[in-house]
Amino acid sequence: MQSAQAKHALIDAGRWLSAQGWVPATGGNFSIRTEQGFVVTASGHDKGALQPEHFLEFDARGSHISGAGKPSAETDLHLALYALSPDTHCILHTHSVAATVLSRLTEPHSLEISGYEMQKALNGFTSHLEALAIPVFDNDQDIPALARRVTEYHSHTPIRHGVLIRGHGLYAMGADMSETRRHIEALEFLFNCELTRRQLEKNA
């Protein structure tokens, strides 16, 4: 994908994600793999009102090649996730309430979900009976250290659809923009169902 096309796709995704309430207060960051390397949102911009000048371009090794503005501190995590899977071409990072709260309620290193038909919207799932496990990592302002922990986890348990950062949000991954948007919408639905189920059980 050319960088101009990538920026257009990310601008459109930003409007959609903002309308869902999943990227409040300039939160979140987005990226797409391009023919030249990567296009990533610059820090500090309302994701519902992105413009072409609100992006930075990096080469395949992660070196900045064009674009003004401050790179998001989480750019290194995007690049690490791309390095883990050559099939990943788009990453959308969001800050929804359900994802953020569930990440704090989940003490193990993964959030396990099963029994929902919506799981079949995720690549590789064919039944609601299959177990979905989304890795959960402690938040860390040292992004390279966080990226190393994600890489180590992937070495023994491949990361397929995304990761949760505790108290922070979701990084959804996909083979292209269409798949990533489908993954994030399905995951957010599942997170809302699971959070509601836990609340109802607690109050029963």
Distance of CA 109 to the CA centre of its chain: 17
Flag whether 93 is marked binding.
yes
Q: Report the 10 Å Cβ neighbour count for 61.
A: 7
Q: Which residue type occupies 53?
A: E
Q: Report the 10 Å Cβ neighbour count for 13.
A: 21
The tally of CA atoms less than 13 A away on the side-chain side of residue 11 is 13
Rounded (10°) angle between helices 75-84 and 143-156: 20
Is residue 165 classed as helix, strand or coil in its secondary structure?
A: strand
Comparing C-alpha atoms, which of 135, 192, 137, 198 is closest to residue 167?
A: 137
Task: List residues forming the annotated binding site for Zn(2+).
Answer: 93, 95
Task: List residues forming the annotated binding site.
Answer: 93, 95
